[in-house]
Structure 1
């Protein structure tokens, strides 16, 4: 994976799970991306399988913590897959119509992705990345 200050991205395979039961195991093409000059506090999960490419922003620290404990409230909740043979993360998304979709992603690629984002912008230095992005936008030298 190549890291630049403007964008970091990785593609992960996700499996749709509804109410804890696997009803449909069709892989959804999705991409996790991190653009620190736009939002250093969050990662973006974009579904590439749909024509409109729906995206959800997820707090980076919460995403990282979710591999060991359940986090989040409201429309985005994350946590480890209970009873899984290998490490997986469950991402629960509540849509505007109230429907909840549980998506499962293997931990390996997602953890590698997160490690790269924290290497690029260490926790606690996000405001500096945001200021650099503002300087770029305003045409000022950083």
Structure 2
């Protein structure tokens, strides 16, 4: 891989597919994609929300055939709705730690890198209610 970020749907999907292939070829434990803080509603580029508190930037990790992400109940509802577009993907597990306000969700799929890249892009955009031109970074590979 020679680039690690993209800001339009076609480029993001290509980037994500390339990241999945690189992850598989390297045998790395997982890959991580994060949204640019400047593109997250209510978060300034420094990573703080409107109240000055630190707000986690949306991220998704992928390992083998499983996506892992944290989300609120509203975000989880949007993710569940998105799965209608991806019938080969399913929620495998939802954990709700007592010390957290949301849920950790694991979505499994057996698919090619291109389809996994499409899902990753749509999951970030739909789940976290991002604009079409959000920028994402492959931060760990």
TM-score by structure 2 length? 0.31
Greater percentage in helix: 2
Q: Which has the higher contact order (CA 8 A, sep 6+)?
A: 2
| Greater Rg over alpha carbons, structure | 1
Larger strand percent:
1
